[in-house]
Amino acid sequence: MSGTIWARCPAKVNLSLKVVGRRPDGYHELETVFQAIELWDDLEAAPAPALTLSCDEPTAPGDDSNLVLRAARALRSRFPEPARGAALRLRKRIPVGGGLGGGSSDAAGTLLLLSRLWELPTTVADLASLAREIGADVAFFLHGGRALGTGRGDRIEPLRSLGPFPILLGCPPFAVSTARTFGSLAARLTLPAAGVSVGEFPALKWREENDFRYTGNDLECVVFAEHPELGAFRGALLGEGARLARMSGSGSTVFGVFGAEESLAEARAALGPRFPGWRLIATRATDAGAHVVGTASGAGRTGD
C-alpha cells in the first residue's frame, strides 16, 4: 500500500481490578474490567525502507522497550518475506506512566496499521496472539469498549456497553512503578481477599445500567500508602459527587465517574485549585478500540 495512513489509539481505565494470585510464569493472575475512553494517541505509518519511530513526547522510550517498535518487529517476524519497513510517527496525548494503557493501545494500533500498510493476510486470531506476546493489556485495545480481562489481563471477554458516561481523570505530576507496586503487593496476597470475592466477580457484568457497587482496585492499598495524595484525590472526587472513584491500573491516574457532564465540569473547577500541578481531563467512555482511520491528512484532532 502506498501513502501514509493513521490510526487512533484510545486510553483505558480499569473500572475494577482484582489480583487473584501469582502465576507459575511470575506474573499475577488478574480479573479486571477495562473501559476504553475518549483520550487518543495518533499513530501514522508511511512506506519506508527501514523501520523507524519518531514521537513528540520526550519521556516516551525510544528504544526496544517502546511497545510500538516491539509490536512492529513482532509483526514483521511473523511475516518476514519480503523485507518490510515503515516510518512510524506517534503523537502522544495519553499521559505516560499513568495507568491509562497508552503504550499498549499504541501497540495495538501498530499491529492494525502495519497489517494494512504491508497488506498482510492477518486474521483476528493472528493479531490477538501477537498482542498477548507484546503486553498484557494490548489485546484489550484490539476490542475496545468495555471488557473483562482475566489471566494476565490478556484474555478478553467483551461486555455490554454502558454508553458514553462522563469520566474525570486526575493525572498527578509523577508516575508510579508497576513493577514496584506488584512487588509490594506480593506479601498481601496471603491475606483474606478484600473487596469483591472471586465468586462475586461475575457481577461485574453489571445487570443494571452503570451499577458500580461491586468494583474495587486491589492495588490502591499499596499505592495510596506510598502516595497519600492519590487517596486524597479519590476522596475529593467522591466528595464532589462522583458515583465511582478509583485508581486506574497501578496508577498514578485516579478517575471519577459522574452522572452528568455538568456535575463533572463543576468537580473539575473545584478540584483544580486544590490539586495544583495535576492535569484534570474531562472525557467519556467509548465503545471504540484502536482503529485505522485512513489517510494522515486528518491526524491530530485530539484534545482534553
pLDDT at site 58: 86
**Where are the chain's structural domains?**
5-159+287-298, 166-284
C-alpha cell at 284: 467519556
Catalytic residue selected from 12, 18, 92, 106: 12
Which of these, 35, 121, 106, 123, lies nearest to 71 by C-alpha position?
Answer: 106
d(CA 113, CA 106): 10
Give 226-272 pLDDT, tens digit per residue. 999 999 999 999 999 999 999 999 999 999 999 999 999 999 999 99
pLDDT digits (tens, 9 = 90+) for 54-81: 999 887 777 777 999 999 999 999 998 8
Catalytic site includes residue 287? no
| Cβ atoms of residues 156 and 148 within 8 Å | yes
Give me the CATH code for the 5-159+287-298 domain, please: 3.30.230.10
- C-alpha to C-alpha distance for 290 and 45, rounded to whole angstroms: 14
Take residue 109 and report the three cell numbers written for it.
Answer: 494500533
* Residue 92 is among the residues annotated as catalytic for this protein: no
User: What's the whole-model pTM score?
Assistant: 0.89
Residue 8 in grid coordinates: 487512533
Catalytic residue among 41, 42, 106, 137: 137
List the Cα angle 280/243/105 in 5-degree steps: 50
Q: How confident is the model at residue 176 (pLDDT cuts 50, 70, 90)?
A: confident
**Is CATH 3.60.70.12 the classification given to domain 166-284?**
no
Of 168, 180, 140, whose CA–CA distance to 285 is shortest?
A: 168
From residue 238, how far is each of 227, 241, 246, 257 by CA, in Å?
18, 5, 10, 9
Measured CA to CA, the distance from residue 137 to residue 149 in angstroms comes to: 8
C-alpha 256: how far from its chain's center? 16
Give 115-165 pLDDT, tens digit per residue. 999 999 999 899 999 999 999 899 999 999 999 999 999 999 999 999 999
pLDDT of residue 186: 64
